[in-house]
Structure 1
Amino acid sequence: MQSSHISVQSLWPSWVVVRITAIASLGGVLFGYDSGCISGALPQIQESLALDSGRSELIVSTLYFGAVFGAVVGSSICDLFGRRTTILLTDVVFIIGAVCLFLSTNYADIILGRFIVGIAVAISGIADVSYLHEISPIEIRGAIVSVNEASISLGFLLAYVSGFIYRSAADEEYRMIFGWAGAVAMIQFFGMINLPESPVWLDSQGRKQESQAAQSMISGIPSTATIDPIGQPHIRDSIGSSCDQGRVKNSDGMEYHEANDAFTQPFLNRRQSATQLFKTYRRQMIISLFLSTTQQFCGQASVINYAPYIFALSHNENRSVHLQTLSIGLVKFAVTVIVVLRIEKFGRRALLLGGMFLISIGQFFLALAFSGLDGNSDFSINGVIPHLALPGALLVVCGYSMSFGPLGWLLTSELFPTEFRARALGMSTIVTYLCASMVTNTFLTFLSEIGASATFATYGIFNTLGMVFAFLAIPETDGKRVEQIEVSMQEMWWWKVGDHHSQFENDYRSMSTETPRPEMTR
């Protein structure tokens, strides 16, 4: 008789997992493309519609305003309809937004299209990360979830390539740059139709039989239940004890569901209020909010969205503005791929701190490069050091691709148990896009008001302070379950001091209320 213990390493990654990861990650390509395509299209839009700085900023930031709305409803949609169904819905929204932008004839049409696309970007991000997290085994979970970030970087690269191709296009042909996103959305839509729903989500809904069938389809191990493309279970003859009646086990005798880290945590009472959940996961929420804010206020969004503008501002005559912008996409994609392939070896904490360090160096390079700008609206270039602008921008993008890019959502997904993961990702995404809209909607204004050097220096200072917090408060999460991360967090200096201070205050209050103060005598 075959052993009932089947090694997880022998099962993963199966071809089905590879296919699911590739198709689900197309949402990341759409995310990156729709976020980055404005970089190449904006100069043409400004010229075609004669836009000032304020209206130009609004075109860039409208996507993030739409993303805020998408993030507000995204986690609820994801939890209500399931991860796979939500991805299909967002593909439809992506297509609508792409058509709107492709057919745009005026400023209002562009704003509407960017807002619609922003909604899809946010919901897709929540659904994609949840889906990838829940179909992957814990041993390679970080790499699989980070494939989404690699896809985002690929999307940015494709957006910059598209901008380069259409850099000399006739008036209003910039709409072609927007239109290509619709084709990618259609590919993902038809690819997702035949994929299974997340077995974790199915299990959380009490649909145990469908969950086992979906897990069997994903792992490639036959089960007593199988699943058809539209999610309907069929029961077939048992294949014997090797799968323990449809439940795959690893070499430790642990059910594969447990090895997948999704079924190890008991589900919390779903009637618990959000306040109670915040209290339960206070440290995790603080870290999640930190990641959401710092990854935007570090200034990376300004660099990638306004790259042609920044390089044109540096007046570096030796390099093409469009080629420099394209180099950002290439570096972002290359670094992200390397990180995805080696993330399990490097560890989350080392990548986060190393990447933040590079971001700070890059922003200070940019500040130095534009140190001669006087802050006036004509952007005079007396004393500028143009050759530092490109290295500075590349360092910012490289550092982000090592840290916040692959780790922002990954860390949040690892910090919380299954029943709160989508909600935590949703809250984190709301804050992320609120901050992104603030950064992108003020960049050109800051350049004219305080100057480019002060703007980039401000980003660098904010990121450096965040790096200190990360060093003191964020533990390694690689390969750990939620309760193990909680224990590691308690050993971090930041939380030790905070908990000690809170305990001191509690003891003081207790003494104040329980022990009567003695009468004062003269």
Structure 2
Amino acid sequence: MSAIQSQRDGVHTTPLPPLTDGPHRKRLGQVALIATFGGLLFGYDTGVINGALRPMTADLGLTPFTEGVVTSSLLFGAAAGAVGSGKLSDNWGRRKTILLLAVLFLTGALACVFAPNFEVMVLGRIILGLAVGGASTVVPVFLAELAPYEIRGSLAGRNELMIVIGQLAAFVVNAIIGNLWGEFGGVWRVMLAVAALPATALFFGMLRMPESPRWLISKGRVQEALAVLMTIRSPERAEAEMADVKHLTDEEKETMPTTWGALRNKWILRILLVGIGLGVAQQLTGINSIMYYGQSVLVEAGFDSNAALIANIAPGVIAVVGGIIALSMMQRVNRRTTLLIGFTLTTICHFLIGIASLALPVGNPMRPFVILFLVVAFVGSMQTFLNIAVWVMLSEIFPLYIRGFAIGISIFCLWIANAFLGLFFPTLVAAVGITGTFFLFGVLGILALVFIYTQVPETRGRTLEALEEDVTTGAIYVVHKNQTPAAP
């Protein structure tokens, strides 16, 4: 039983010692900053294609279909990287896996920069995808396992904030390079080369970072885990958390199967399906279609190419602003409430974009600006209420003994949905226009709202160990689905 639950089945337990300020809080912040360079790379490498694709198409002679292949090859690679890295991090460790991902980020970036043709470009994008998918799986778990439960949402959510900062950086770099040197050949290679800098920083930074203490405990390396906790907690808090995690881990070693065998427990299977549903629902908002093809959407709306590059910065800025607001809400607003608000707002934006595209025909001077405003509103709603909440929930809802495996499966499905959208979005827009595309996203948003309301439990304000016990027994669906946790 978790030490932080004050009442369960009539049994009273002692809460953990409170958080205190000191050098350990500064060290925790340093570890989180270095790890989230993985999120920064995730954002840059997925966002840079937005502005690099049009000049790349001219240089490499891409067709509309091969444009989709170049874009989606990273995403299919990310699906494989997510599921592979999740299992690898369970066996090999979170820290070592992130170091490997840094090497893949650098290798993939260099392959894309020097790609002489379509085939090598696709290979480089697949390598980048393996790194992006791995980072999307391992970094949130690493942060969640390091964080005290009181600030787990805001700490784990920093990775999503760094993702949107990376995407904004890509949009700004694209706009500057595209407008200053767009007439020169190979300008897209410079856009892609910038990613080598944070990849190098991630590698050398992680060499000085500790391993996840919860992973160390799961491997029986108790003294190492306590030594790590002592650097990021007060001594009293470190020892109390250590006892709590070790007790649960010892129980699970005797009774719990790992990976696929764990799915025989119907509650574990159910929470895995919830994780998959969260990831797929997030992608079916179409957010990454805007991030990958935003310039093309704005050109179709009525902007010229250079103006679209500049206008495309606006969704990137609002994404960062929304991410900052979302971090501040993580410890004050229930996760379910945040998700329901987010899907409601994004669905409304989808229908409004479709209506505006229908009501304002091509050539109407108001069309590009109205659609840009609605796209910015959509991205702001998405980043403020959905993206950080989804990634935080995926990092915290799974039990420790299958955490890497389960989040890997969930994010694999997320990336597959993302990849198919990336592959077919240009074809979809060409076939039914902005109007039909965003009406379709709106219908999918209504289905997502039904899923969130009926299936997703509440997780805020509780330790990973308390959540793990309730998930394993199914109590989380009965007791905590609509309960507002007490303020920590």
TM-score (norm 2): 0.87
**Aligned match of 2:231 in 184, 206, 217?**
217
The 3 A distance-change label for structure 1 pair 6 and 454 is closer
Partner of 2:358: 371
Compared with structure 1, are the counterparts of its residues 88 and 318 closer, same or farther at alpha carbon in structure 2 (3 Å cutoff)? closer
Residues 419 and 363 (structure 1 numbering): CA distance in 2 closer, same or farther, change over 3 Å?
same
Cα pair distance change 1:262/1:440, threshold 3 Å: farther
Structure 2 residue aligned with 1:509: none
Deviation of 1:357 after TM superposition, in Å, equals 1.4
The 1:262/1:295 distance shift into structure 2, 3 A limit, reads: farther
Matched residues in 2 for 1:191 and 1:357: separation?
40
Secondary structure class of the residue paired with 1:76: helix
Q: Distance in 1 between matches of 2:65 and 2:171?
A: 23
- Map of 1:40 onto structure 2: 51
Partner Cα separation in structure 2 for residue 406 and residue 157 of structure 1: 16
After the TM superposition, which residues 245-264 of structure 1 pair with which residues of structure 2 at under 5 Å, given as runs?
Answer: 248-249=238-239, 255-257=240-242, 264=248
Quote the offset at 1:63 in angstroms. 0.6
1:54 paired with 2:40, answer no
User: Is the counterpart of residue 18 in structure 1 residue 37 in structure 2?
Assistant: no
Deviation at 1:333, TM superposition (A): 0.7
- 1:173-184 aligned at under 5 Å gives the runs 173-184=187-198
Amino acid at match of 1:331: I
Q: Which residue of 1 aligns with 2:4?
A: none
When structure 1 is superposed on structure 2, of 479-488 and 345-354 the one drifting more is: 479-488
Alpha-carbon offset, residue 487 of structure 1: 2.8
Partners of 2:360 and 2:367 within 8 A in 1: no
Task: Work out the CA distance in 2 between the residues paired with 1:493 and 1:217.
Answer: 35
Q: 2:124 matched to which residue of 1?
A: 113
The amino acid across from 1:177 in the alignment is M
Q: 2:379 aligns with which of 394, 397, 403?
A: 397
Partner of 1:8 in structure 2?
Answer: 18
Which stretch of structure 1 is more off in the superposition, 151-160 or 122-131? 122-131
Partner residue, 1:283: 270
**Partner-residue secondary structure (3-state), 1:344:** coil
| Secondary structure, counterpart of 1:90 in structure 2 | helix
Structure 1 residues 6 and 458: CA distance shift in structure 2, 3 A: closer
Contact 1:475-1:489 at 8 Å conserved across structures: yes
Deviations 1:328-357 (A, max 9, x none): 110001110111123111221221111111
CA distance in 2: counterparts of 1:426 and 1:317, whole angstroms = 40
Paired position in structure 1 for 2:308 = 321
Residues 1:347 and 2:334 are matched in the alignment: yes
**Could you tell me which of 282, 288, 292 is aligned with 1:305?**
292
Distance of 2:21 and 2:98 partners within structure 1: 26
Matches within 5 A, 1:39-118: 39-118=50-129
Equivalents in 1 of 2:243, 2:21: separation in Å? Answer: 15
Corresponding letter in the other structure for 1:333: V
Measured after TM superposition, the shift of residue 40 of structure 1 is 1.0
Q: Is this contact kept in 2: 1:199–1:214, CA < 8 A? A: yes
Structure 1 vs Structure 2 CA RMSD: 2.6
Residue 220 of structure 1 deviates from its aligned partner by 5.8
Number of positions where the alignment pairs a residue of Structure 1 with one of Structure 2: 456
Gaps of 5+ in 1: 222-242, 250-254, 375-379, 495-522
Alignment of 1:143-222 (within 5 A): 143-168=154-179, 169=181, 170-219=184-233, 221=235
Structure 1 equivalent of residue 442 of structure 2: 460
Does 2:281 correspond to 1:294?
yes
In structure 2, C-alpha distance between the alignment counterparts of 1:301 and 1:262, rounded to whole Å: 40
| Separation of aligned partners in 1, 2:45 and 2:284 | 20
Post-superposition CA distance 1:157-180 (Å, at most 9, x none): 101111111113211121111111
> Residue 372 of structure 1 contacts residue 383 of structure 1 at CA under 8 Å; is this kept in 2?
no
| Aligned-partner Cα distance in 2 for 1:373–1:431 | 36
**Looking at both structures, which has the greater relative contact order when contacts are Cα pairs under 8 Å and sequence separation is at least 6?**
2
Query: Residues 66 and 184 of structure 1: is their aligned pair in 2 closer, same or farther, counting only changes over 3 Å?
Result: same
CA contact (8 A) 1:369 1:386 kept: no
Alpha-carbon distance in 2 for matches of 1:7, 1:100: 50
> Residue type matched to 2:444 in 1?
F
**d(CA) in 2 for partners of 1:180, 1:318:** 22
Residues 441, 140 of structure 1: CA spacing in aligned structure 2 closer, same or farther, 3 A cutoff? same
**Alpha-carbon deviations, 1:163-220, whole Å to 9, x = none?**
1111132111211111111110111111111111111111100111111111112226
CA contact (8 A) 1:369 1:388 kept: yes
Shift in Å, 1:258? 5.7
Q: CA deviation at 1:262?
A: 8.0
Kept after mapping to 2: 8 A contact 1:288/1:412: yes
Q: Is the 8 A contact 2:458 2:481 kept in 1?
A: no
Distance 1:299 1:162 in 2: 23
The offset of 1:477, in angstroms, is: 1.2
Farther off after superposition, 212-221 or 307-316 = 212-221
1:239 corresponds in structure 2 to: none
Q: Is the 8 A contact 1:369 1:387 kept in 2?
A: no
Residue 398 (structure 2) pairs with residue 410 (structure 1): no
Distance 1:316 1:287 in 2: 40
Residue 434 of structure 1 deviates from its aligned partner by 0.6
**Does the CA contact (< 8 Å) of 1:66 and 1:119 recur in 2?**
yes
Unaligned runs of 5+ residues in structure 2 are: 1-14, 483-488
Percent of aligned positions that are identical: 28
The higher radius of gyration belongs to 1
Question: For residues 37 and 317 of structure 1, what CA distance do their matches in structure 2 show?
Answer: 19
1:357 aligns to 2:344 (yes or no): yes
The alpha-carbon deviation at position 301 of structure 1 amounts to 1.3
1:431 to 413, 419, 436: 413
Which residue pairs with 1:519 in the alignment?
none
Contact 2:258 2:402 survives alignment (8 Å):
no
Structure 2 counterparts to residues 511-522 of structure 1, below 5 A = none
Q: Residues of 1 paired with 2:92 and 2:56: CA distance?
A: 38
Change (3 A) 1:308 1:71: same
**Structure ranking higher in helix proportion:** 2
1:383, distance to aligned residue in structure 2 (A): 11
